Amino acid sequence: MFDVLVYLYETYWRPDACPDHAQLARKLTAVGFENDEIQEALNWLDGLAAAGESYQGEQSAHAMRVYSAAEIEHLGEPSIGFISFLESAGVLPGPMREMVIDRAMAIPGAPMDLEDLKIIVLMVFWCLGEEPDALILDELFVAPEDRLIH
């Protein structure tokens, strides 16, 4: 499913540029994705679109997020740490964080792989039509072992 999401991000710069589900499914099949993978991605995107419709951009600066036991188990410490890093860097406001957590919780299996969570973060930015800054894109795309340290 994550390969489909990355393909959509790279091919369609905005969600409104995507064709309807039937046409998109045909295009993804033609590219070589499996039908199960396509349907899973489209269902996940429907949930993302629903979350995006109720998005409100601001939250109190004094708000604090407490993770439930189920969220801690499902997300895992590396993913929660990454979400906290993005929040503290000022690039993931509380409402976007909640969208990320919601969509991560919709993925089966635990704990969540950090690379998969990064794709979810990218898709939340994509859904809202926001472009993450270059340093965040670097954090989302470049593997730690490939980074140049000055």
Cis peptide before 111 (omega within 30 of 0): yes
Q: Do residues 73 and 14 make contact, with C-beta atoms less than 8 angstroms apart?
A: no
Q: Please list, in sequence order, all residues whose beta carbon lies within 8 angstroms of the beta carbon of residue 82, skipping any fewer than 6 positions away.
A: 114, 117, 118, 121
Supply the pLDDT for residue 52: 82
**What is the pLDDT, as a whole number, of residue 53?**
81
- Specify the amino acid at residue 19: P
Residue 118 corresponds to which tokens in the numbers above?
């990064």
CA separation for the pair 61, 80 (Å, rounded): 19
Cα–Cα separations (whole angstroms), residue 91 to 15, 30, 96, 121: 20, 36, 9, 11
How do the domains of the chain map onto residue ranges? 2-146
Token pair recorded at residue 44: 């996940």
Residue 31 token pair: 């590219």
Per-residue pLDDT of the chain (150 residues; tens, 9 = 90+): 889 998 998 888 778 788 888 999 999 999 999 999 999 999 999 999 888 887 766 666 667 788 999 999 999 999 999 999 998 888 888 889 999 999 999 998 888 999 999 999 999 988 888 877 766 766 666 554 544 444
**What one-character-per-residue DSSP string does 51-108 give?**
HHHT------TT------HHHHHHHHHHHHHHHHHHHHTTSS-HHHHHHHHHHHHTS-
